[in-house]
Amino acid sequence: MIPSIAQLRNVTAMTILVEQMIDAPLGQERMACFYGPSGWGKTSAVGVAEVTFDAIAIEVPESVTKRFFLKKICEIMSLTPRGSIPDLVELIAAELARSTTPLIIDDAQYLLKSNDMIGLARDIYNGAGRVAPVILVGEEELPRKLTAIENIHNRVSAWEGAQPCEMSDARQLAQIYAPGIEIEEALLVEIVQAADGSVRRVNNNLLAVCEVARSNGTNQVDLTLWGKRSFFDGKVPPKRTVENLRPKLQLAQTTRGKRVATR
């Protein structure tokens, strides 16, 4: 099993953000937003923050409903869900007010399917007396979308954008995903460039490096050994046409000395 925790820049950024909300002075809102493109390591950062601060962390599915969302939080908090939607909000808010435990909502963009849905986060936050931090984590467009919902947007006191994966992150990830493999710096540079900021793509490429090392019986991999292999770069394959799919006719010499067209 491959461990997935490294002290990457986004892990540090998330940790600092949660700390800021916990230590916010009296009167300052304790709602924050951590945002960035898919694959940049936000969910891994959430996982570290969950353990570090004993936080309540929930990942919102795209098919979320109000009751599912609230029941899932109750389940994580070891609360028995009873009653209506408002009853569940009140139950969760009361426990958060008592414990002041941070609530981290990952993939929060799926709560934006309706104002009523994202309003649950606001109601929980308000119901807890604004003493328990609520961190909304989501896609790059999350801050812009929240500006359209004033009674949520004006409660967010900190906005933190996830950072693209760079060489310092890749070196740490190499120790986790390619342990014992010496990777040439030039190859690691190519991997980072191909990943275009995505931690997930860097991880996939490092696993491919391990496979190259294994198949060649070595613990050293450089650009020469990597050769013409493709990197995981997220690019869509080019559009196919009938012409480039149809086998080309080639001429072959027959036993009778004649050249015939063959496929």
In this structure, what CATH number is given to the domain that contains residue 88? 3.40.50.300
Q: Please tell me the predicted confidence (pLDDT) of residue 7.
A: 83
- Residue 199 shares a structural domain with residue 97: no
Is 50 within the bounds of a domain? yes
Number of other residues whose CB lies within 10 A of the CB of residue 217 = 6
Listed in sequence order, the residues at least 6 apart from 24 whose beta carbon sits closer than 8 Å to its beta carbon are: 30, 133, 157
- Residue 150 shares a structural domain with residue 174: no
Q: Which two three-digit tokens encode residue 173?
A: 């990830």
- Residue 66 shares a structural domain with residue 178: no
Is 249 within the bounds of a domain? no
- Residue 50 shares a structural domain with residue 145: yes
Q: Please tell me the predicted confidence (pLDDT) of residue 149.
A: 93
Q: Please tell me the predicted confidence (pLDDT) of residue 253.
A: 46
Whole domain around residue 213: which residue ranges? 167-226
Q: Please tell me the predicted confidence (pLDDT) of residue 113.
A: 85
- Residue 193 shares a structural domain with residue 143: no
What pLDDT digit, counting tens, does each position of 168-202 carry? 999 999 999 999 999 999 999 999 999 999 999 99
Quote the CA–CA distance of 218 and 179 in Å, as a whole number.
13
In the chain, which stretches have pLDDT less than 70?
Answer: 1-6, 245, 247-263
Cα four-point dihedral sign 196, 200, 206, 208: negative
Let me know: does 158 contact 17? Beta carbons within 8 Å. yes
Is 131 within the bounds of a domain? yes
For the chain, the average pLDDT equals 91
Is 231 within the bounds of a domain? no
Is 259 within the bounds of a domain? no
Is 4 within the bounds of a domain? no
Is 233 within the bounds of a domain? no
Instruction: State which of 146, 161, 176 marks the end of a domain.
Output: 161
Whole-angstrom CA distances from 197 to 36, 64, 244 are 10, 29, 32
Hey, which residues does 251 pair with through a beta bridge?
A: 261
Listed in sequence order, the residues at least 6 apart from 41 whose beta carbon sits closer than 8 Å to its beta carbon are: 8, 10, 11, 162, 165, 169, 199, 200
- Residue 150 shares a structural domain with residue 180: no
- Residue 64 shares a structural domain with residue 107: yes
Instruction: State which of 161, 184, 212 marks the end of a domain.
Output: 161
- Residue 67 shares a structural domain with residue 189: no
Q: Please tell me the predicted confidence (pLDDT) of residue 2.
A: 45
- Residue 58 shares a structural domain with residue 106: yes
Instruction: State which of 135, 161, 187 marks the end of a domain.
Output: 161
Count: domains in the chain: 2
Q: Please tell me the predicted confidence (pLDDT) of residue 1.
A: 42
- Residue 67 shares a structural domain with residue 149: yes
- Residue 182 shares a structural domain with residue 78: no
- Residue 29 shares a structural domain with residue 62: yes
